[in-house]
Structure 1
Amino acid sequence: MLFSFKFCIAGALVGLLATAQLLDASCKSWEAPSGAKAIYILNNGDSNSVAAIPIAHNGTLFGGVTRATGGNGGSTVKATGGFNGPDALGSQSSLTVVDSVSKTDPTDLKLVNKPIAVPGQFPVTVAASSKNSLVCVGTTGAQAGVSCASYTPGGLGSMSPLTVFSLNQTTPPSRPLNGVAHTFFSDDEDRLITTVKGDPTTNNTGFVSVLPVENFYSYPGAHDTRSSLNGTAVLFGAAVIPGTSTFLATDASFGAAILQVNSFTNEVLISSKQTIPGQKATCWAAYSKQRGSVFVTDPLVNRLVELSALDSQVITTIDLTNGDSGLIDLKVSGRYVYALSPGNGTTPAAVTVVDSFVGKQIQHFLVGGLGASKSSQGVAVLE
């Protein structure tokens, strides 16, 4: 798995090799525009790579390069056999960026030091904390859980022992249900939060894990608090609401909910819940600072849905007519939303750029030439 550091870019799955890597973006004379500077996509192929695509002043994408990670991609498998796709990993945040880059070429990436071993067997999600100088990896499959390592400009330290989630899964994981979905830090970066998908077919509701960062330094196999929430079934991606102890979490079975972390007990409660009309599998979420709202996507419906960050109510729905089968990972930078459609093997992989202020697509940027395919997953943005 790849991740990022100052003057760097981030996280990517290295599949069953279970390693973590740090990429550095070296300084060049090219000066990026103000605001967002680049987006990154994990190609997640047999020979894994990251596609780095610059962002112009008007929010549109141009050019792009592909950088090999030296690892392998991976995919969950269908109940009948064969790889899943789109949504090969069944997770959010398989890449992440930490800290910022100024007056540099954000596409010039290189490996920092050597990859390190990650406990667990099938890494799918990565989070980074600048405050704590930590990078944390969520793994799923037969040996699932979360583990963290320190990082410095020289690379990554050793991963902590795995905080284990007993999921009764296989490696690679069977079907997109019953697995680790998204690991991320709370707004104050004092807690690592992980959503774990349930499986309605087996009456398993899944749970949310909350792990105080201080626990990583106190004893091996750090202790977390787990909350199973009535009325949820397949908790998936999340978007932290700045300045609060809440986050919006998607649930592929109905839509989304605002969840709140109790700062004393670390238990998670439902603050509000929203069924999204016409949804089939709402899975990914991204917060918009400019609008104070959250955008969510569905791999089976080609649209963006904007939800209130206060009560998860639907604000707007932006239907797209660009031929994509649906959208997965996304990021918001300023007024622009960048959403990946990996394609389904028939339709090509593309990133749709939407101006959220006017509610319209401004670009449909094909990324197949950069190695993206229906296995691709993960979108990160460098601002």
Structure 2
Amino acid sequence: MSVAFNEQGTMLCALNGGQVNGVHCYGVDQKNGLQALNGTLRSLGLNQTTPASGPAGSTSHIIFSEDGKQLIASIKGTPPQPGFLAVWDVNEDNTLSPDFKQIAPGKDAGVGFDIFDMSGGAQNSSKSSVVPIEGQGATCWSSFSNKTGNFYLTDIKTSTVTEVNVDDNLKGTIVKQYPQANNSATIDNDIVTIGGNDFLIVLAAGASTIDVLSLEAPGQAQNIQTLDIAGPAKSAGLIINPNNLQGMTAFVNN
């Protein structure tokens, strides 16, 4: 479902869905490729099937904490039950703690976005919260812009980009919303920095396009480009089903 490198690029962890769900990590060898690491195969114990069912109750995303000492996986909820974060400690020998710690949001997360306070480690905090987005349908993806200091969330049902600020006290507020083309189904997104400027790259699966927004300043995102996927694919003899379009990661060749 998702993979993540540590900051040094020496360790890669994969989050798996389906009946045998959990995480497994690998050492990165420049010559021999990925080598499975002992003590990193850990189960989530979710009630899942193969192929995986969902989206409700399925695995979602995996990241390392900024200091590399924790591995964090997000798990979707099954309404009315909210999802949670599964957190493993990463030991000095690159093994993972035998069991994960579970961190849950304060209430049903299907109303907007979650803010988790991780300053005290893997534990629930009174500063963690859920912030509603009025009229949202399925807000599921987010990226952070270092230039604006804000997060950008996409909603597949309303085809809307929502800009969010989280202050030093972890209070979340909505800065501005940017409606995209009707029924374009904005899903995965990423932010890329080129020449000191940040750009939000959004997969609009319903329209089989990629939308690009320039992030000039807080509250000033502007659509600057729409890249058609279906046309070039058809010319190459490929048939694209919008329901199968998923995933967005931007790479910059320096």
Match of 1:198 among 40, 58, 77: 77
Q: Work out the CA distance in 2 between the residues paired with 1:134 and 1:218.
A: 11
Correspondence 1:255 to 2:112: yes
How far is 1:271 from its partner? 2.9
Normalised to the residue count of structure 1, the TM-score between the two structures is 0.56
How far is 1:259 from its partner? 0.6
Change (3 A) 1:132 1:355: closer
Q: Work out the CA distance in 1 between the residues paired with 2:65 and 2:174.
A: 24
Aligned twin of 1:209: 86
Contact 1:215 1:222 (C-alpha < 8 Å) held by counterparts:
no
How far is 1:130 from its partner? 3.1
Correspondence 1:144 to 2:21: yes
Q: Work out the CA distance in 2 between the residues paired with 1:255 and 1:204.
A: 15
Q: Work out the CA distance in 2 between the residues paired with 1:320 and 1:268.
A: 35
Q: Work out the CA distance in 2 between the residues paired with 1:318 and 1:185.
A: 30
Q: Work out the CA distance in 1 between the residues paired with 2:129 and 2:140.
A: 17
Match of 2:123 among 252, 255, 267: 267
Instruction: Give the 5 Å matches for 1:1-383.
Output: 124-131=1-8, 133-154=10-31, 155-160=33-38, 161-200=40-79, 203-214=80-91, 217-218=94-95, 222-232=98-108, 251=109, 253-264=110-121, 266-269=122-125, 270-310=127-167, 311-321=171-181, 323-333=182-192, 334-343=197-206, 347=207, 349-357=208-216, 358-368=220-230, 369-370=232-233, 373-374=241-242, 375-383=244-252
How far is 1:297 from its partner? 0.4
Q: Which runs of 5+ in 2 are unaligned?
A: none
Q: Work out the CA distance in 2 between the residues paired with 1:292 and 1:335.
A: 11
After the TM superposition, which of the residue ranges 134-143 and 210-219 deviates more from structure 2?
Answer: 210-219
Instruction: Report which structure shows greater RCO (CA 8 Å, sep ≥6).
Output: 1
Q: Work out the CA distance in 1 between the residues paired with 2:99 and 2:177.
A: 40
How far is 1:173 from its partner? 1.8
Contact 2:143 2:191 (C-alpha < 8 Å) held by counterparts:
yes
Q: Deviations over 1:149-186 (max 9, x none)?
A: 01122211125452111111111122310011111111
Q: Deviations over 1:184-212 (max 9, x none)?
A: 11122221111111101xx5333211112
How far is 1:263 from its partner? 4.0
Normalised to the residue count of structure 2, the TM-score between the two structures is 0.83
Change (3 A) 1:212 1:286: same
Change (3 A) 1:319 1:205: closer
Q: Deviations over 1:241-278 (max 9, x none)?
A: xxxxxxxxxx4x111121111445x2143534310112
Matched positions, count: 232
Contact 1:262 1:268 (C-alpha < 8 Å) held by counterparts:
no
How far is 1:216 from its partner? 6.6
> AA paired with 2:140?
C
Q: Which runs of 5+ in 1 are unaligned?
A: 1-123, 233-250
